[in-house]
Amino acid sequence: MLVFAASDKGGTGRSVTSANLAYQRALAGDHVAYVDFDFGSPTAAAVFDVPGAMRGTEERGLHSYLEGTVTEPARIDVWRQTEHPQLRARPNQAGRLVLLPGDAGGGEFAVGEDALERCVDLLLRLHGEFDLIVVDLSAGRSYAVDMALAATAHPRMRYVPFRWLVFHRWTRQHVIAAAGLVHKDHGIIRGGVERGHDEEALQGAVRFVRAAVPDPDSPLWSQGTPAQAAWMQSCDETLRRLAAEHGIGDSVVLGAVPLEPALQWCERLITEEDVLSVQIANKETLAALEEIARRLTDDSYWGRS
């Protein structure tokens, strides 16, 4: 299963949330590959706390592979190479967790036919080796998004299942931007159809993840005034109406991640130890990540919207 992580804007929590989803699936026993196609800012290794590749790898990154200067991209065994103390103690039931990093100092680049063929080759090999492949794409309608749409429309990929997660924060600008990335001219749906995708099938493969969603009833906001509480409730209702009007209402949302300081400030993986032992993260956040990770392959959440 391929899962493409996309967002129209930066700062949506796309990378940190999708990394957490990959981690949760590996904890559950799946073999998981995390592919860093955020070509302009390949920093996924920082979320996994892997030294030496925090801003991409110095050799054999995905840029180099796609451009044909190396025959095989670098792989990082996260369990073995992370400096995160909880991750080093890999649970016995956990599956593999492998990061394919981008090149340090890389950037966006136009996708030619040779690069597309190499992309298809890579995704097919990973599909044969891993249960889940999470592909983190550059923000906006980027070359990475174009390549993902072209690759999944390729005849050799016809039997490889794929899904799209579009991340956005719970604000007016982010809701409008996420809807535009998917539904407007040059968006994912129309761009996919131009490359040969069936419109209805592609529409059914897209779900949204709301990140950094404040809960007006959370104790985090209990010190606010009654006027602030009423205002927050009103804002939340207004955003729900806006999302529905733009085609990204609750029926096409895979899940929402609460506003969480450990994610916002540290951009880290949330572990049970963070919640139960050191208590730097909230149990609601961990529960939300676990549930979204479970829903990734639950067909009941991926029916026709």
pLDDT in tens, 10-20: 889 899 999 99
Nearest-10 crossing angle of helices 283-295, 14-27: 80
Contacting residues for 278 by C-beta, under 8 A, at least 6 apart: none
pTM of the model: 0.94
In the predicted structure, residue 305 carries a pLDDT above the cut 50:
no
Per-residue pLDDT, averaged over 292-297, amounts to 97
In the predicted structure, residue 148 carries a pLDDT above the cut 50:
yes
CB atoms within 10 A of CB 136: 26
Q: What's the pLDDT at 75?
A: 96
**Mean pLDDT taken over the chain:** 92
Q: Six-digit token pair at 242?
A: 């806006």
Higher pLDDT, 11 or 123: 123
Per-residue pLDDT, averaged over 243-272, amounts to 92
pLDDT in tens, 166-221: 999 999 999 999 999 999 988 999 999 999 999 999 999 999 999 999 877 666 66
Q: Label residue 110 by pLDDT band (50, 70, 90).
A: low
Give me the percent of the chain exceeding a pLDDT of 90: 72
Rounded Cα distance, 18 and 164, in Å:
11
In the predicted structure, residue 234 carries a pLDDT above the cut 50:
yes
